[in-house]
Amino acid sequence: MHAHLQAKLRLAPTELFTRGACHIYARALKRRFPNLQLRRAGSQIRDGVGTQSAEGQHVYCYTDGVLLDVSGIIPEENLLKEHQWAAWDCTEDDLFTVYQESDKGPLNRWRQYLDEEFVARATSVADCYISSRTEEIHSALSNMKGRKV
Residues of the chain with pLDDT > 70: what percent?
89
| Average pLDDT of every residue of the chain | 89
The mean pLDDT of 60-89, rounded to a whole number, is: 93
Of 65 and 52, the structure prediction assigns the larger pLDDT to 65
| CA of residue 80 relative to chain centroid, distance | 15
Nearest CA-CA partner of 127 in 7, 44, 58, 26 = 26
- DSSP notation for 59-96: EEEEETTEEEETTEEEEHHHHHHHHT-EEEE--HHHHH
Q: Lowest mean pLDDT: which of 29-38, 129-138, 139-148? A: 139-148
| Residue 145's pLDDT band (cuts 50, 70, 90) | low
**What's the average model confidence in pLDDT over 33-56?**
75
Contact between 99 and 68 under an 8 Å Cβ cutoff? The reply is no
Say what the pTM is: 0.89
Q: What is the pLDDT of residue 118?
A: 97
Q: Which amino acid is present at 149?
A: V
* pLDDT of 149 above 80: no
